[in-house]
Amino acid sequence: MSAHCDGTDRIRLLALLDRRVADALNLGAQARHAGWNVDGAGAGASAVRLAALAARLLVHAELLADRSIALGGAPCATPERVFARSCIPPLADESDPRVVEAMVARRRQRYVDVLAADAELPRDLGDEPTARLCLELPASAR
């Protein structure tokens, strides 16, 4: 982070990281649980794709949390705090693999869009490591 950042800028960055950690953990949990609940034709392949997405989101959450800690923050850590801070809506109870994957894909796209928009703040503050983290998942979604 550049030397011109003040305490307010740091607080804004930490809040951004905290929200995205919450979103990544929430969406990852939704994808993982959805994979466990799919049933019918294509369920096996769908479960594998959903588990892979959950794993990628967990890694992304870890990277975001590590960045927050490096900046002096303490990211949300309990399930209650995660779900309270996340902007990802709950996943409806569904078992059809196509429907479930479509629901998760919409939530993932919302998360990717928010991450891409979030990259502006750290970039404006000269914090390229945080900006890269915000753009990492959106770049892989293309």
**Crossing angle of helices 43-70/128-140, nearest 10°?**
170
pTM comes to: 0.89
pLDDT tens per residue, range 89-120: 999 888 899 999 999 999 999 999 999 999 99
How far apart are the C-alpha atoms of 11 and 60, rounded to whole Å?
21
**What is the SS3 assignment for 74?**
coil
pLDDT tens per residue, range 59-73: 999 999 999 999 999
